[in-house]
Amino acid sequence: MPNSPRKRKSQKPATISPLTAAAVNPNPPNPPPPISNFKSQLRSATYRLIIIIIITVFTQRYRSDVKTFHDQVIPYEVVDLPGKGKGMVAIRHIQQGERIITEKPLLIIPQELREDPIQHIDNKITSLSQEQKYEFFNLSHAHTDIPHDQIPISIIQTNGIAAGPKQLGVFPRASRMNHGCSSAFNAVYSWRENENILVVHALRNISQGEEILTVYFDTKQSRERRREHLLEQYKFQCTCKVCSLPPEASIASDMCLQQITNLKQQLTSWESNKISGKEAVDIVRSIWRLSEEEGYWSERGQWAADAVHVAAAHSDEDAVRQWGLLAQEWFGYELGQDSNSVTNMHPIVENPRRSPTWGTRERLNVGGPEL
């Protein structure tokens, strides 16, 4: 809030001499203070000066602390982006793995509702504070020309984020992130059931001024299919850097993503003994190489954890340790160093025999990442 303007002291007319002024002024001027009074006034003036200096220094330090805190906690700003509506832009360099957002849901609803969804959502909105209602209705929604009573459900359809397998949450801050496909997104959100919060981490380094983009669905599919899905579900044409590739590069990207999807499917056949442990771990290495080629860094923690699972079953201690460290590193970037996925890997890296699958298959040297 701006400071209220200070009232100016009225100035005496310059033409009145001290004598005339004394005649005009019923109060005679004060006599000069005695020396002792003068000393006391000087002391009091010095104290005032000291207090002013202390307050100034404190205020400046406080302001600088608040600024530092603000910059550390909120490393982005929400701005209007041409053709995209609002978006989130980094206001400083964001380190890979850094937490960008921690947010509690504004409201949460079950993914499957037995009662009338409009009524259920209305009840939830009624219980919100005025400020929360403003935050909710300030969110955009994809469906235009709909009856007024369906706007809340449209807001939830457009902005809702899965909060566990059975619930949908509305997170106004995280909702400001736009979407990017494959290598275009640089931030990933994850729900923490125990803490009842949504966290967003930087999947890669994000430069100051760069838009923070997340991913709304599994984009390991062709550009055509991605665009169809986004248009149907979110009513926009994706113009991310992967969707904007020239035809030849786009075809290469589509093939790369399709190969990753196929290999991921093949990897599951190790569970039913259709491929060996060595083949399974080879598949993980191939997926990793393709993800490097495409620039698709998401899910790496899970792929490395899959290799840990296989290596432990075949009692390959060194491989478990190496894949385990890699899983911790990439889970750390995507889900946070304090995530369950990272902490659950600690005892296994320390002692591979603690792995739940240890020794459940024949002994085999499946090998480490060797990337």
Q: How many residues bind Zn ion (CB under 5 A)?
A: 4
Rounded to a whole number of angstroms, the minimum distance from the CB of residue 233 to Zn ion is 13
Rounded to a whole number of angstroms, the minimum distance from the CB of residue 185 to Zn ion is 9
Give the end-to-end CA distance of the chain in Å, rounded to a whole number.
Answer: 56
Strand order in the sheet with 99-103: 99-103, 197-202, 187-192
- Rounded CA-CA distance 47/39 in Å is 12
HSE, side-chain direction, 13 A CA sphere, residue 146: 11
Q: Applying CB under 5 A, which part among 31-39, 99-107, 231-239, 252-260 lies near Zn ion?
A: 231-239
Q: What amino acid occupies position 40?
A: S
Rounded to a whole number of angstroms, the minimum distance from the CB of residue 319 to Zn ion is 36
Restricting to residues 237-256, name those near Zn ion by CB under 5 A. Answer: 238, 240, 243
Q: Are 179 and 214 in contact (CB under 8 A)?
A: yes
- Helices 130-137 + 151-159 axis angle, to 10: 70
Closer to Zn ion at the Cβ: 155 or 238? Answer: 238
Closer to Zn ion at the Cβ: 193 or 218? Answer: 218
Q: What amino acid occupies position 11?
A: Q
Rounded to a whole number of angstroms, the minimum distance from the CB of residue 219 to Zn ion is 7
When asked if residue 181 is in the footprint of Zn ion (CB under 5 A), the reply is yes
**Torsion on CA atoms 40, 44, 46, 50, rounded to nearest 10:** 150
When asked if residue 168 is in the footprint of Zn ion (CB under 5 A), the reply is no
Closer to Zn ion at the Cβ: 128 or 245? Answer: 245
Closer to Zn ion at the Cβ: 240 or 284? Answer: 240
Q: Applying CB under 5 A, which part among 49-57, 134-142, 181-189, 297-305 lies near Zn ion?
A: 181-189
Phi, psi at 364, each rounded to 5°: -160, 140
Rounded to a whole number of angstroms, the minimum distance from the CB of residue 157 to Zn ion is 20
Q: Applying CB under 5 A, which part among 73-81, 148-156, 178-186, 325-333 lies near Zn ion?
A: 178-186
Rounded to a whole number of angstroms, the minimum distance from the CB of residue 211 to Zn ion is 13
* Cβ burial, residue 329 (10 Å; 0-12/13-18/19+): middle
Restricting to residues 321-350, name those near Zn ion by CB under 5 A. Answer: none
Restricting to residues 25-54, name those near Zn ion by CB under 5 A. Answer: none
Rounded to a whole number of angstroms, the minimum distance from the CB of residue 223 to Zn ion is 7
Closer to Zn ion at the Cβ: 243 or 366? Answer: 243
- Rounded CA-CA distance 73/257 in Å is 34
Q: Are 328 and 239 in contact (CB under 8 A)?
A: no
Per-residue DSSP letter, 127: T
Assign 363 to helix, strand or coil. coil
When asked if residue 257 is in the footprint of Zn ion (CB under 5 A), the reply is no
Q: Applying CB under 5 A, which part among 169-177, 210-218, 230-238, 357-365 lies near Zn ion?
A: 230-238
Rounded to a whole number of angstroms, the minimum distance from the CB of residue 241 to Zn ion is 8
Per-residue DSSP letter, 76: E
Binding site for Zn ion (CB under 5 A): 181, 238, 240, 243
